[in-house]
């Protein structure tokens, strides 16, 4: 029987072969589940010629239980709450894109998070564990099925939900590969983004291994002193080393690294912060994404409009790389960046 706690393409194929299946049968199975969203083992045999022994084994894998769906009346973001086999809650966000009918999915990679970012609800969760690759993929499959039922098409995935993806490196990469594989979900590699708060050894490993998914690095702030307040665990590594790893990645890929910057009123949006960002980034090919903080506790507030405008003007003077403002939707249903907490 396949072990649902540690599902990955390699072991998946190996186990399927042990069960007597060839690669073609496995591809048909992935096509049925990931491509078509058909979860009835009887239908796999009928329509996809998946061998009975294989479909029986895969069919016993426990799925995530979709417990609740909340839709934002403001911007139509949807938050899905799942329960794992060991009764832990995790959340996933279905994100409407600008193109009509298009959507992407924000995936969780862990229950809880050990990185302790002070503005993040996930950091305050008491239960923590890594999610299996299959549990990550199943979030995408069920969100995709929900979107289909609404006449929408999911074309991407972002690993920006609960948890630090690079603390669950192998399973996150296995899940991303499963989403990418052409006989499964067939999501384009460039439509999959993996985010980290700045784990340098894992960024370098990711660069060395040559993955084609997009990389996003969440900075928090441009100086070590401010990072120590906002992203304390990640700040144990000097921000200059994080940027050096980003530069190695950008140059190896010949592509811009996305730098996510959570904007917080009176905290990291002053002239000094813009200047520090400019000095830190230099000529490294990045795209700086500005995101308003969302903190339901009220401790951290987004910048006031004039404060944000002054910050953007300062960035224009100090940063010689593209700067964009990214919308963090679903704030009214606590589905925005930093608000996922799997509350029961």
Positions marked catalytic: 91, 337
**Token pair listed for 90:** 């995790």
Q: Are 198 and 231 in contact (CB under 8 A)?
A: yes
CA distance 268 to 261: 9
CA distance 147 to 167: 29
Angstrom CA distances, 121 to 159, 219, 228, 330, 337, stand at 16, 17, 18, 14, 9
- If one asks whether residue 117 binds ligand SF4 (CB under 6 A), the answer comes out as yes
Question: Could you tell me the smallest distance in angstroms from the CB atom of residue 327 to ligand SF4?
Answer: 17
| Complex with ligand SF4: residue 230 or 243, whichever CB lies closer | 230
Residue span binding ligand SF4 (CB under 6 A) among the ranges 43-51, 114-122, 236-244, 273-281: 114-122
Residue 5 CB contacts under 8 Å (≥ 6 apart), including other chains: 132
User: Which residues, 2 to 41, sit near ligand SF4 by CB under 6 A?
Assistant: none
Question: Could you tell me the smallest distance in angstroms from the CB atom of residue 139 to ligand SF4?
Answer: 15
Single out the residue of 55, 84, 104, 122 in contact with ligand SF4 (rule: CB under 6 A).
122
- If one asks whether residue 120 binds ligand SF4 (CB under 6 A), the answer comes out as yes
Q: Where are the beta strands (DSSP E) in 120-237?
A: 129-130, 153-159, 192-196, 214-218
| Complex with ligand SF4: residue 34 or 243, whichever CB lies closer | 243
User: Which residues, 159 to 218, sit near ligand SF4 by CB under 6 A?
Assistant: 162-164, 197
**Token pair listed for 57:** 């084994």
| Complex with ligand SF4: residue 9 or 161, whichever CB lies closer | 161
Burial of 337 by CB count in 10 Å (0-12 exposed, 13-18 middle, 19+ buried)?
buried
- If one asks whether residue 123 binds ligand SF4 (CB under 6 A), the answer comes out as yes
Single out the residue of 338, 339, 341, 342 in contact with ligand SF4 (rule: CB under 6 A).
338
Question: Could you tell me the smallest distance in angstroms from the CB atom of residue 165 to ligand SF4?
Answer: 9
Length of the chain measured in residues? 344
**Token pair listed for 160:** 């920006």
Residues in contact with ligand SF4 by CB under 6 A are 113, 115, 117, 120, 122-123, 162-164, 197, 338
């Amino acid at each position: 029987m396949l072990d649902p706690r540690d599902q990955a393409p390699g072991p998946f194929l190996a186990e399927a072969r042990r069960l007597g299946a060839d690669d073609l049968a496995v591809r048909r199975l992935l096509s049925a589940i990931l491509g078509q969203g058909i979860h009835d083992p009887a239908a796999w045999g009928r329509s996809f010629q998946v061998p009975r022994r294989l479909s029986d084994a895969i069919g016993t894998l426990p799925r995530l239980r979709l417990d609740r769906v909340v839709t934002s009346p403001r911007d139509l973001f949807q938050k899905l709450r799942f329960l794992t086999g060991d009764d832990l809650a995790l959340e996933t966000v279905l994100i409407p894109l600008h193109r009509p009918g298009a959507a992407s999915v924000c995936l969780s990679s862990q229950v809880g998070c050990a990185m302790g970012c002070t503005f993040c609800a996930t950091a305050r969760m008491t239960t923590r564990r890594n999610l299996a690759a299959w549990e990550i993929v199943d979030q995408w499959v069920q969100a995709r099925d929900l979107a289909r039922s609404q006449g929408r098409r999911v074309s991407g995935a972002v690993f920006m939900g609960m948890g630090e993806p690079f603390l669950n490196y192998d399973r996150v990469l296995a899940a991303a590969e499963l989403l990418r594989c052409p006989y499964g979900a067939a999501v384009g590699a460039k439509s999959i983004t993996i985010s980290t708060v700045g784990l340098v050894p894992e960024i370098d490993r990711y660069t060395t291994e040559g993955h084609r998914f997009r990389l996003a690095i969440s900075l928090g702030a441009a100086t070590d002193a401010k990072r120590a307040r906002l992203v304390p665990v990640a700040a144990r590594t000097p921000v200059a080393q994080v940027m050096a790893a980003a530069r190695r990645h950008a140059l190896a890929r010949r592509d811009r690294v996305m730098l996510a910057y959570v904007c917080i009123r009176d905290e990291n949006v002053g002239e000094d912060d813009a200047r520090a960002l400019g000095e830190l980034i230099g000529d490294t090919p990045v795209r700086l994404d500005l995101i308003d903080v969302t903190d339901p506790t009220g401790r951290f507030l987004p910048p006031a409009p004039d404060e944000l405008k002054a910050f953007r003007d300062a960035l224009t003077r100090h940063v010689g790389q593209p700067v964009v403002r990214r919308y963090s939707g679903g704030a009214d249903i606590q589905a925005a960046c930093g608000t996922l907490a799997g509350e029961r």
